[in-house]
Amino acid sequence: MTFDLGGTIMADQEHNSQNKNSCMLTPADFAALASKDDGYFNQKGARHYTMSNYTDAVQYYHIAAAMGNCDAISNLGYCYLYGRNMEQNTSLALAYFRIAASHGHIDALYKLGDIYSRDTWVTKDVELSTYYYLKAANFIVDQNWGTNPEVILAYTELQDYPSLCFALGRELLPKGTLFTNVEAAYLFLKHAEQGYQTFITNGQTMYEKSYKHVQELLAQSQFNDFRKKYSDVQE
């Protein structure tokens, strides 16, 4: 399969022998094709993914990605990174994430930061990791939050990206990789907490462990002053 996104062309490898069962497109699927509704295919892929039906999820993601849907392109990055119904392939995962990131896709930027933050998939690169984290954050928070962290509070759309907020909050602490800013860390972690709560309430229980880690961080005494400062606006 090939697809073209503003001149960026990537050749995708064929599904391996694990993918012998193909999904059958429904009349609604063909109607969505006719109307060029790429979001429909990405959402249908996401529903299959949530149910661990990775075969159909990947195939719907491929259709949406071929139509230029950046969410689906990023989702395929996750499928290749974790080997969902295909052989794990870090190079292809990075390619998909980079294509999505080049179009300003925040979750893809976050995941690139996550990948380079450890030695699990690639050689750890702290500078590159923090570059991607900050680039993702700055797509949302368009004010100088480094010198004026209070502005972070108003950007509730950060709660759509709790894992990004968790990473930023963690790395802004004294032992993190970013310039220490405990107040900014606290506010990012509060957005992460709220975002994870929403995800879990909506059935995405895979985030429960991360949610617990965020709560443990927020309970630390280093945040006492900021708990008091923001107590009136956190309820």
Averaged pLDDT for residues 119-128: 96
List of residues 6+ apart from 205 with CB closer than 8 A: none
> CA angle at residue 118 from 149 to 197, to 5 degrees?
50
Q: What are φ and ψ of residue 5, in 5° steps?
A: -120, 95
Portion of the chain with pLDDT greater than 70, in percent? 89
Residue 142 banded pLDDT, cuts 50, 70, 90: confident
pLDDT digits (tens, 9 = 90+) for 34-87: 999 999 999 999 999 988 899 999 999 999 999 999 999 999 999 999 999 889
Facing residues of 5 across strands? Answer: 8
Averaged pLDDT for residues 203-209: 91
- Which tokens in the block code for residue 194? 């709220």
- Which tokens in the block code for residue 115? 């990948």
211 vs 199: CA distance, rounded Å: 10
Q: How far apart are the first and last CA of the chain?
A: 49
pTM of the predicted model as reported, rounded to 2 decimal places: 0.86
Complete domains list, the chain, with CATH: 2-103 (1.25.40.10), 126-229 (no CATH)
> CA angle at residue 18 from 17 to 20, to 5 degrees?
75
Which of these, 130, 203, 193, lies nearest to 162 by C-alpha position?
193
